[in-house]
Structure 1
């Protein structure tokens, strides 16, 4: 299955980044030159996967070739890719479909999606477009992050806010870890669409605006979404602990809903008593 040039380049860069970040000791391999223990050679991945050095090199170079799924599966095993990373590589090569939906721009959440967000009332929640533009939110989320209502629509993008808004950095108890996770999750979803002008523009602007983004984007990290505990340091409400969940309306699969639920009854009472 042929892929377009952008996807071939992304697949090659992704495989190379993963190979160069591997721990040689995890493979029982001796250190490379000057005692280096991080990074395997192409020849070593070739041997471990049973794929010829030439073919694997062409994969990393983004050549216009048609790798079989068996080849990609073997390379994924040799690189110790996670499930999310393996799926990402397959989708870039055209073997697994992108997440259902058109990927078209979504400026504002449909009315019934916004009504659902509002019905959550006490739970901070927002809607993300495919490019991670914030397309809707409820009053509880605005209480948690007031800037969402005052940020211009063209900059109301979760990835942009994470890396450029000082208020977000102050709000997040673990900005470094959360920003890395969000970027890896964004890449997992956006990979096959990185050639789209909207995505290229967003990435280009972030590369210029944020040194942290620029450094982490080049690492090609990919992760699937995981529900997890989130800690916020609200300027007036203090320390808040939530659980972070993701939903997708079956009739609006281009939109993902992110919902925060208080971690326990005490946290819920504290948040809403002080918010009111």
Structure 2
């Protein structure tokens, strides 16, 4: 549909501008005196030259005035802007030539029963199922004890990003809050490429932008991330500090859902998890 294509063109344009502003001439291998430059990052003509396209063509891309570029042009732009794998994937999603989805709410997110069974069996490991836009769809008791009583949260706010930014209790349990929050925003940004016209995403971004200036700043940077593993520290009010190694496992039956498992990363943390799990 035309509206969705226009949304992608605008997002593509904003993404190119943001990335261009973050790449320094030194990073791009350009022999220039950065101290004498009046703009941050690369100039349009420098990006165009590195990509082998005309300055006029690239300018119109940044202004959202062109249709989807070809795959070869995307590859050239990814090289010119030093995009990493996640950013290249995001760029391609934005430039997808397939018909865009209609602007309507997508079907309800239902966790497959076998996945719920696995979740229940993970008695000694915190785990949850995340859906579109980091909605929390299911969890085991240890995840609720460790992070938040998700069952007590209204369904409309049962979202990992919403809780990370706007729930004081969750924020207190994340001693590395800025790292966690920034990564969550970058992860959400990936969903723009998958669901560019979903009203649910628009509502969530508007709510968070209005309520938290840090979210607004991070969202405007257009950083993207699709990391599927990492480490996290949780500061539990009674158990103390617990270190976790989290993994995001895709669910084959539902491509917008992932099983997030958070095993302890050391023996001390493992013992503290056991204590939390003991009635």
Aligned to 2:237: 235
Q: Which moved more, 1:129-138 or 1:248-257?
A: 248-257
151, 174, 180: which one aligns with 1:172: 174
Which segments of 5 or more consecutive residues in structure 1 lack a partner in the other structure? none
Q: CA deviation at 1:123?
A: 0.7
Q: CA deviation at 1:130?
A: 1.3
CA contact (8 A) 1:21 1:39 kept: yes
Secondary structure of the structure 1 residue equivalent to 2:57: helix
Q: Which moved more, 1:52-61 or 1:74-83?
A: 52-61
CA contact (8 A) 1:6 1:195 kept: yes
TM-score, reference length from structure 2: 0.90
Aligned to 2:26: 25
CA contact (8 A) 1:107 1:133 kept: no
Matches within 5 A, 1:1-276: 4-26=5-27, 27-32=29-34, 34-35=36-37, 38-94=40-96, 104-107=106-109, 109-276=111-278
Structure-2 separation of matches of 1:256 and 1:88: 18
TM-score, reference length from structure 1: 0.91
Q: CA deviation at 1:266?
A: 3.5
Structure-1 separation of matches of 2:56 and 2:87: 23
Structure-1 separation of matches of 2:269 and 2:239: 11
CA contact (8 A) 2:144 2:150 kept: yes
Which segments of 5 or more consecutive residues in structure 2 lack a partner in the other structure? none
Structure-1 separation of matches of 2:123 and 2:275: 14
Q: CA deviation at 1:69?
A: 0.6
Two-structure CA RMSD over aligned residues (Å)? 2.2
CA contact (8 A) 1:12 1:62 kept: yes
Structure-1 separation of matches of 2:149 and 2:179: 21
